[in-house]
Structure 1
Amino acid sequence: MSETMGGRVIGSAPMSGTEPAGTLEVLQTASGRSIVRAVGPEAPLTQDRMAAEAASVATLPDDVPMLPREWFVDEVLPGAGRWVVLGYRNEPIRPPHDPWDEADLAAAVELAIQIGSSEAPPDLPDTLDLIDSQAWATIAAMRPPGLSAFTPWLSDKIEHLAEIASYADEAMSGKNLVHGALSRESILITDHGWDATSAHAVDWFMPSRGASYLDVVLLLPHLRVDGAPPPEVVMDRHPLPDVDPEALTCAVTVTAGALVLESMRPPQPGLPHGRAVQREVAHAALEWLRTRLGG
């Protein structure tokens, strides 16, 4: 493994503000520095996602704003189980400020817009293969008991939301690149002075092809949970280019439905708090949807 990483490891230091699961570290080796994320056998889903990221980034266009990857290790170590390690080029980066400030928020939204301006490689799946556009129809048929915990507003709206979501193919399809998992944890910031910042994306484990604005729709509920202004306020400050309002409403509807349904499923291995996070983001998406539909 030391050959892959560029030589014997001399030292390391955690990058402050990054998540405990797969914390980013600055690794000093005999040949230089790398930014490293390492995950052991306690988080198999995260390991699989990192392996998927290693495969997908090699196919993405050069102009995509992502942290350049230098090496990748996926090995079963004697007595230690499987370890997956991603090594990125050493860049002057940091996590977004917590809470978000206006400069970092602008950089995050611009990142989502910039990703969507790139044409996706043709072999990527369609976004609608990865996001359940039939979630509201499923919820309407199941009427799961946990649904009442979200908002009473849903009680007589589910069939209407399923009807809106039925136009997902028309509203959300396209040839543009979609990251699909943008959140605070997948965004890294570079400072340029005078409060100017730019952002890079990591966690490319589910890139796809779709409409150019989809990453913005998927990101804004996450930002809202983190204390950012409501999505409509953010979009007023950072307008989306040439997006049909009805298509946008359809995408918000699909996103909210998928989050609601997923958040009621059993926990995923190695992500004990993942469903709770999804529920928070689902609440934010529902709040946005209610605004777009006029309350």
Structure 2
Amino acid sequence: MSGDVGDDIVVPAASGGTRLRWSALPSSLRTAVESASGSRVVAERSASGGFSPGLASRLTLASGRRIFVKAMGEACLPNGPQILRREACVLSALAGSAPVPRLEHMVESDDWVALVLEDVQGSSPRQPWDHAELGQVLSAMAALAATLTPAPIAAPAAAEHWQDEFTGWRQLAASDRAAVTELSPWAGDHVDELARWETSWTDAAHGQTLLHGDLRADNMLLTADGVVFVDWPWACVGAPWVDLVLMLPSVAMQGGGDPEAIVTSHPLTQTIEPDAITSVLAAVTGFFVFGSLQPPPPGIPLLRGFQRAQGLVALNWLRQRLGQADLARN
């Protein structure tokens, strides 16, 4: 394998491959959701995107009202209930001040947690990316960063939040160089250099902005009033441009164009030192590549393929940036 991503790349769906359905939830949790919502559920449409193995469904109530419900228990993901509790805290704090879904209720039953959210009237960006929709999203991200600076709620610093995940190149350099070379001969030849770049990401990502931490096309909705950003359990505090850099590999993979052209022209990155962007890009690329070489996590069989595709696109972008840096030094 060359490690270079061409136009013929097969873009995997942004889906973990499994989703719980309403009927599979414990009856006590279903009763609690219906009681909180004031009506029984009569119809369900499961969300196709996202990697959680839990429930994520638009539910129609007997009253005619629609809600969106997310639910997980320890059985489907060991830390699933805590993930939803964390998201509930973020959504509650941001209500009315940021374009996020309104949390109506959080209900618990045994070791299960469900979030009852407003049913946002919108749709995910088209895939491959539409140029106008991408422009709308990129503008909305700049506005979101301004709204969330300084961070309006307490959240972990980015350096703490990703301290274990953003060590991929160092782990691969120490234990699995052959696998890196098989995926990308260029990365195999430069794994030590990539590990060095990775070590400086924490200083580069330092800042005072509340970051989403997991932005992709499947975590946003285009509505008549603008872009609504959904799925907030991974919020952390860092530099305002970090969400943009972390998202761009998926944008490029899904037909959104050259990530370097976007990062060069975007208002969030206009005054940022190039090496800072490169270090964060190196860290997330190592995260994707290392993750893609691991066995699939329980309940999320399609995750590794999605990470691999993003990793290869990110590698191409990182190789381009490192080549430009070398030319600048010479």
| Alignment equivalent of 1:128, drawn from 142, 159, 165 | 159
- 1:281 matched to 2:317? The reply is no
Aligned residue for 1:105, secondary structure, equals helix
| Alignment equivalent of 2:63, drawn from 21, 25, 30 | 30
RMSD: 2.7
Matches within 5 A, 1:121-200: 121=152, 123-131=154-162, 132-191=165-224, 198-200=226-228
Paired residues of 2:56 and 2:68 also in contact (CA < 8 A): no
- What amino acid is the match of 2:321? R
Q: Match of 1:79?
A: none
- What amino acid is the match of 1:98? Q
Q: Match of 1:209?
A: 237
Cα distance 1:26–1:189, how it changes in 2: closer, same or farther (>3 A)? farther
Matches within 5 A, 1:25-64: 25-30=58-63, 32-38=65-71, 43-44=76-77, 47-48=80-81, 49-60=83-94, 62-64=96-98
Paired residues of 1:7 and 1:31 also in contact (CA < 8 A): no
Q: Match of 2:39?
A: 7
Cα distance 1:130–1:153, how it changes in 2: closer, same or farther (>3 A)? same
- CA displacement, residues 172-211 of structure 1 (integer Å, 9 cap, x when unaligned): 111111111111221111135xxxxx21111111110111
- CA displacement, residues 253-276 of structure 1 (integer Å, 9 cap, x when unaligned): 111112222222232221111122
Paired residues of 2:94 and 2:100 also in contact (CA < 8 A): no
- What amino acid is the match of 1:109? L
Q: Aligned partners of 2:67 and 2:153: how far apart in 1?
A: 31
- 1:246 matched to 2:275? The reply is yes
Q: Match of 1:74?
A: 108
- Report deviation, 1:39: 5.1
Q: Aligned partners of 1:42 and 1:104: how far apart in 2?
A: 38
TM-score by length of 2: 0.76
Cα distance 1:122–1:69, how it changes in 2: closer, same or farther (>3 A)? closer
- What amino acid is the match of 2:159? L
Identity over aligned pairs, percent = 28
- Report deviation, 1:38: 4.4
Q: Which has the higher helix share?
A: 2
- Report deviation, 1:115: 3.5
Deviates most, 32-41 or 168-177: 32-41
Aligned residue for 2:106, secondary structure, equals strand
- What amino acid is the match of 1:50? L
Q: Aligned partners of 1:47 and 1:29: how far apart in 2?
A: 29
- What amino acid is the match of 1:8? R
Cα distance 1:29–1:236, how it changes in 2: closer, same or farther (>3 A)? farther
Cα distance 1:28–1:278, how it changes in 2: closer, same or farther (>3 A)? same
- Report deviation, 1:236: 4.8
Deviates most, 130-139 or 159-168: 130-139
Aligned residue for 2:122, secondary structure, equals coil
Paired residues of 1:43 and 1:271 also in contact (CA < 8 A): no
- What amino acid is the match of 2:38? G
Q: Aligned partners of 2:88 and 2:47: how far apart in 1?
A: 23
Q: Aligned partners of 1:85 and 1:29: how far apart in 2?
A: 19
Paired residues of 2:93 and 2:153 also in contact (CA < 8 A): no
- CA displacement, residues 204-244 of structure 1 (integer Å, 9 cap, x when unaligned): 11110111101001111112222221211333564434322
Number of residue equivalences: 284
- Report deviation, 1:116: 2.8
Cα distance 1:6–1:46, how it changes in 2: closer, same or farther (>3 A)? farther
- Report deviation, 1:45: 5.6
Paired residues of 2:285 and 2:311 also in contact (CA < 8 A): yes
- Report deviation, 1:137: 2.3
Aligned residue for 1:124, secondary structure, equals coil
Q: Match of 1:294?
A: 323
Q: Aligned partners of 2:40 and 2:138: how far apart in 1?
A: 39
Cα distance 1:245–1:145, how it changes in 2: closer, same or farther (>3 A)? same
